[in-house]
Amino acid sequence: MSDVLLQFAHISDTHLLKPGQALDFGDIGPEWAEYARQVLALRHDAGAVVGALAQEINALPARLDFVLHTGDVAGQPQSPEDYDIMAGWLGQINYPVFYLPGNHDDADGVRRLLDGAATSESLDYTFERNGVQIVCLDSNHSIVPHGGGLDDRQLTWLESICAAQDDRPLVVSLHHHPVPLGVPWLDALALSNGDDLHRILLTARARLRGVFFGHIHYGIDVLRDGILYSSAPGAWYQFSGWPGWATPALDERASPGFSVVTITRDRTFVRRHFYRV
């Protein structure tokens, strides 16, 4: 396509662990017991996970402008310095990577990856590529453990962006899902003020090309009032997200993957790629 404005890979939820680190599910409730059993049964090799992901991205037949990682870079970080190790692994990707923090991340650790891009206490920032404005939001403002939220300052900041007289196509990204999915166990961990976010985004609907998120470990596209909400598959394991599903569980048959997002002058394409670890 000759009218492509922007093309990027959307990755999420790598949940990387340091070499020799084991997952610890000591603080979970009984409803998470089966989920914990399934995750602990998985073979985890962070180098293999990132190696397979990087190989797939680097082998794509079309060139990318960047890679967008929508959070949970780490699984259970023990210090900000852990992210220096993870940056080395993710450095196998042959494109610049822009990061958002997820609910499992250490904020100071993610800040080390951003190289000064986020200067506020929240890890919010914006950048431009090929005349497209990309907004990255830190959605870790919630009283619900592992749930999401945006505070008033963030909403005001986003409102000023959406209300501006700006003709550039707009992309918005965050970690937590801002629209309900009809999956009770996941919706309990959604963005708590997704309706407030949606109301603000409606003011920029004419130039908004998509809202991209992670957190749910599977790919889904939701169209709400003409706004595209799109998630990336998990880069390691996938959640079970069938409508009405109330018990936390993995989809053990699903492969890890990522999305490739292509933005043209009048369309947004989301293509999903899967690979084996």
Q: 268 pairs with which residues across the strands?
A: 263
> Two tokens at 29?
């409730």
* pLDDT of 131 higher than 90: yes
The predicted structure's pLDDT at residue 116: 63
Q: Does residue 81 sit in helix, strand or coil?
A: coil
Closest CA to 46 of 5, 89, 6: 89
* pLDDT of 1 higher than 80: no
Angle at which helix 152-163 crosses helix 194-202, to 10 degrees, equals 20
> Two tokens at 65?
């402008």
Query: Kindly report the CA angle at 70 between 63 and 224, in degrees rounded to 5?
Result: 95
* pLDDT of 119 higher than 70: no
- Across the chain, mean pLDDT equals 94
Q: How confident is the model over 184-198, as pLDDT tens digits?
A: 999 999 999 999 999
The predicted structure's pLDDT at residue 186: 97
The predicted structure's pLDDT at residue 28: 75
Q: How confident is the model over 187-243, as pLDDT tens digits?
A: 999 999 999 999 999 999 999 999 999 999 999 999 999 999 999 999 999 999 999
Share of the chain above pLDDT 90, in %: 82
Question: Is residue 266 very low, low, confident or very high in pLDDT (cuts 50, 70, 90)?
Answer: very high
Query: Kindly report the CA angle at 155 between 151 and 158, in degrees rounded to 5?
Result: 140
Q: How confident is the model over 241-251, as pLDDT tens digits?
A: 999 999 999 99
* CA distances (Å), origin 45, targets 87, 96, 215, 234: 16, 23, 20, 15
Give me the domains of the chain, ranges plus CATH numbers: 4-274 (3.60.21.10)
Q: How confident is the model over 84-115, as pLDDT tens digits?
A: 999 999 999 999 999 999 999 999 999 999 98
Other residues' Cβ atoms within 10 Å of the Cβ of residue 23: 14
Q: Does residue 10 sit in helix, strand or coil?
A: strand
Q: Does residue 161 sit in helix, strand or coil?
A: helix
Cβ atoms of 25 and 84 closer than 8 Å: no
Non-local CB neighbours of 217 within 8 Å, separated by 6+ positions: 12, 13, 233, 234, 237, 238, 239, 241
Burial tier of 238 (Cβ tally within 10 Å: 0-12, 13-18, 19+):
buried
- Exposure string of 217-237, with b = 16+ CB inside 10 Å and e = fewer, is bbbbebeeeebbbbbbbbbbb
